[in-house]
Amino acid sequence: MKVIDIMERAGVSQTGRAIAYIKEALNEIALNYETHTKTSRIDIEANKRFYQFPKEAVKIIDIRCKDHNNGDGEYRSIPRTVFEPYTKDSDGN
């Protein structure tokens, strides 16, 4: 579809305004809907807090871990922290 087609459908006669609307819509779509997502799984280890992430990762959307208290093997989201942990881990970090 060309810009002129979108202008006719939307009833817009100014090309600059139509292009601005299209760019704004594309930015809104990019912010609201994640694309090109990939799920990676890493086995966790006892007494270890920090893990290496894949180098191709640009944005981490969610980190989940199996909850040991449920029998369904359901994954639960891990809350994020903004600050450094108050206590040192046994793995030296």
Domain residue ranges in the chain: 3-32
Whose CA is closest to 78, among 58, 57, 55, 50?
50
Assess contact for 62 and 77: CB atoms under 8 A: yes
Walk along the chain (93 residues) and give the pLDDT tens digit of each residue: 899 998 999 899 999 999 999 999 998 988 888 777 788 788 878 888 788 888 888 778 888 887 766 667 778 887 777 777 676 666 665
DSSP states of 40-75: ------TT----PPPTT-------EEE-TT-SS--E
Residue 49 pLDDT: 77
Residue 81 pLDDT: 75
Alpha-carbon distance 21 to 23, whole Å? 6
pTM above 0.75, yes or no: no
Alpha-carbon distance 71 to 81, whole Å? 27
